[in-house]
Amino acid sequence: MSSSPNALCFGYELPASGAPCLVRFGGQGLTVTFASESMAGRSEEVPFTALSVSVGGLDHDQLVLKWIGDRGERALYLKDADLIRSFRRSAPEQLHVPFERAAELARLVRRRRRMVWGVVAGVVLALSAGLWRGGDLLVALAVERIPPEWEQKLGESAYKDFLARQDIVREGPAVSAVQEMTRRLVEQIPNNPYKFEVTVVKSDVVNAFALPGGYIVVFTGLMKKATGAEEVAGVLSHELNHVLQRHGLERIVKRLGLVAAASIVFGDQQGLAGLMKQFGVELMTLKFGREQETEADLTGLQLLYQARIDPSGMIGFFERLSEKDEGRMEWLSTHPMSQGRAERLKAELAAMPKLSPVPFTFEWAAVRASLGVSPPAEP
């Protein structure tokens, strides 16, 4: 073990890649024993007084000992920590100062490199964080520049993709009921750039969602759970407002910004393309932020009010959904319900002048019956 080489020796007649050698420190100096076959057994003794000490190597992490020998200048590169410690123990006092200076230089290089990387990491993090949090204005600006047609195309492809795998309810009381609700709500939207399309999908999932561009899906599970048409209309109004406020687009732009930054940092353009593709899928599970939910709640409430649909149905339904945890309440997982949210809506409603609601033209009980819910489910 002690005979395996532990350092590289450089010199005029030695190979450029360095001659592997075994270095030992003694009381007066060091002994270099060459390990390569052509020079096997040859050794040189160097007194400490002849040595100069510095650091070298790619990362300034090797201890360099130089001296002028019989065969010209020699340089010894040591990187083994034990060997360097052994040098420090046996070296005489006059070498301590240059040794400490060399060690300080090595530490300085390491520290400086760490600092530079720290600053770079900090800047990258700050940029990402800035894009994510403080960049709302930037996101809003970007979203403003995206035409509704583009948004519609994006939503449409995801919508078609999704529906291709679903059992769609094409006609019947449930479909006409949802269409009537949508019509009454949409009529109240001034300068509406979207052509809203609502599809009823047969599924026990208690959920409804909106895609950018005005594509809305209502699951029959949600309709079965609702005891009045106003409750479903409330959910619809909330979802319509996600579209109108372009919440989906905002999320995508935000996410894209982060991904782009990350891809630039890691130089992985393929990853960027892959992630772009994923957005089509992610549109389905797109979670909106808390502010976006609140905004959709409040504007949804106003829209219901303008359409003269009783908004208390919406509030009551939200509360009921949050209390009971039966079945698959998926609307809750994407729309986390808090008591504060319902309270806020109640307060908002109380501040509005009293409303005389206009009833729907259909019987809700008949709609539910068509979905297979037996009539005595009345509360």
Partner 1 sequence: MRSEILYPGAFPMVRVELAAGEQIKAESGAMVGASPTIDVESKMEGGFLGALSRKLLTGEKFFFQTLRAGRGPGEVLLAPTVPGEIVILELDGVNEYMVQKDGFLAGADTISIESKMQSFTRGLMGGEGFFILKIGGKGTLILNSFGAIHRIDLKPDQEYIVDNSHMVAWSATTSYNIERASSGWMASFTSGEGFVCRFRGPGVVYIQSRNPGGFGAWIRQFIPVSE
Interaction site with partner 1 (CB under 8 A) = 4-8, 10, 12, 15-18, 20, 35-36, 56-60, 62, 66, 73, 75, 77, 79, 113, 116-117, 120, 266-268
Q: Using the minimum distance from each CB to partner 1, give the nearer residue, 24 or 66.
A: 66
Shortest gap between Cβ of 307 and partner 1 (angstroms)?
47
Q: Using the minimum distance from each CB to partner 1, give the nearer residue, 64 or 373.
A: 64
24 forms bridges with which residues in the sheet?
31
Shortest gap between Cβ of 122 and partner 1 (angstroms)?
13
Q: Using the minimum distance from each CB to partner 1, give the nearer residue, 58 or 164.
A: 58
Shortest gap between Cβ of 266 and partner 1 (angstroms)?
6
Shortest gap between Cβ of 113 and partner 1 (angstroms)?
5
| Cα 256 to Cα 262: distance, rounded to the nearest angstrom | 10
Q: Using the minimum distance from each CB to partner 1, give the nearer residue, 59 or 144.
A: 59
Shortest gap between Cβ of 323 and partner 1 (angstroms)?
45
Non-local CB neighbours of 362 within 8 Å, separated by 6+ positions:
173, 176, 177, 180, 229
Cα–Cα distances (Å) from 61 to 89, 96, 103, 130, in that order, read 19, 18, 9, 37
Question: Do residues 343 and 295 lie in contact, with contact meaning Cβ atoms separated by under 8 Å?
Answer: no
Task: State residue 72 phi and psi, 5-degree precision.
Answer: 90, -165
List the one residue out of 125, 126, 135 whose CA is nearest residue 257: 135
Terminal Cα distance for the chain, rounded? 87
Q: Using the minimum distance from each CB to partner 1, give the nearer residue, 68 or 358.
A: 68
Shortest gap between Cβ of 7 and partner 1 (angstroms)?
6
| Cα 377 to Cα 324: distance, rounded to the nearest angstrom | 16
Q: Using the minimum distance from each CB to partner 1, give the nearer residue, 36 or 338.
A: 36
Task: State residue 373 phi and psi, 5-degree precision.
Answer: -100, 130
User: Kind and range of the H or E element at 272?
Assistant: helix 269-282
Shortest gap between Cβ of 98 and partner 1 (angstroms)?
17
Q: Using the minimum distance from each CB to partner 1, give the nearer residue, 16 or 347.
A: 16
- Give the full edge-to-edge strand order of the sheet including 7-11: 43-47, 29-34, 19-25, 7-11, 72-78, 62-69, 52-56
> What is the DSSP-derived secondary structure letter of residue 133?
I
